């Protein structure tokens, strides 16, 4: 069983979707610890209710490098092999990323490289795209930039609102994050330049 460390800042709905897939036997993994930089994150409470190990590690007022060292140390204490970002609202330092090479995943609510950064669903809606979606990607030192594991497309309807669109994208997020993780844990893969390719 691969040991996952979940890091979140909010409700952690993508964490809950992965936890459900594990519980249903669809992912050969276990959640070793759930860590939040916000003590009041609903996702942390939900993890506690599920009987998972949780750590509240407040980031407020802490220097980034120092915070990331504490975060990495906490993950290693729990023998985490893969770091799963689930609505973690901070950029990770290069030092942190070096601690978990090719083992940090994130999900972003757009078809990257379009609409990186905050409020991607609103950005896409305002731009007027007819197709947007979501992206599971490896995390590197640049925001929303690492190699892409899996994407799903979501059509924008004429009658859409940003809220309705966000809800449909979120359903796809819940589906593909587990699917991407399952692929990476169960199949051979490699990163060829920045393309994630299945096979030896």
Interface positions with its own copies (CB under 8 A): 111-115, 125-131, 133, 147-153, 158, 193-199
Whether the Cβ atoms of residue 170 and residue 13 lie closer than 8 Å to each other: yes
| Nearest distance in Å: CB 64, its own copies | 28
Q: How far is CA 23 from CA 1, 28, 119, in A?
A: 13, 10, 31
- Between 63 and 158, CB nearer to its own copies: 158
* Cα separation, 190 vs 178, whole angstroms: 19
| Nearest distance in Å: CB 192, its own copies | 8
* Cα separation, 71 vs 17, whole angstroms: 23
- Between 32 and 148, CB nearer to its own copies: 148
Catalytic residue (choose from 78, 108, 122, 137): 108
| Nearest distance in Å: CB 73, its own copies | 32
Q: Length of the chain, please?
A: 200
- Between 24 and 200, CB nearer to its own copies: 200
* Catalytic site includes residue 108: yes
* Cα separation, 73 vs 30, whole angstroms: 19
Residues acting as catalytic residues: 108
């Amino acid at each position: 069983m691969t040991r996952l460390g979940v890091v979140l800042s909010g409700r952690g709905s993508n964490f809950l979707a992965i936890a459900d897939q594990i519980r249903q036997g669809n992912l050969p993994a276990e959640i070793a610890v759930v860590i939040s930089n916000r003590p009041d994150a609903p996702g942390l409470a939900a993890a506690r209710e599920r009987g998972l190990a949780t750590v509240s590690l407040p980031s407020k007022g802490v220097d980034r490098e120092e915070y990331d060292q504490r975060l990495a140390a906490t993950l290693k204490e729990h023998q985490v092999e893969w770091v799963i970002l689930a609505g973690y609202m901070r950029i990770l330092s290069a030092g942190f990323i070096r601690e978990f090479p090719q083992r940090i995943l994130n999900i972003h609510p757009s078809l990257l490289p379009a609409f990186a950064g905050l409020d991607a669903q609103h950005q896409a809606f305002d731009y007027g795209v007819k197709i947007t979606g979501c992206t599971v990607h490896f995390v590197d030192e640049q925001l929303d930039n690492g190699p892409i594991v899996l994407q799903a497309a979501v059509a924008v309807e004429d009658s859409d609102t940003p809220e309705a669109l966000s809800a449909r994208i979120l359903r796809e997020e819940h589906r593909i994050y587990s699917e991407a993780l399952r692929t990476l844990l169960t199949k051979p893969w490699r990163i060829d330049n920045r393309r994630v390719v299945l096979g030896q």
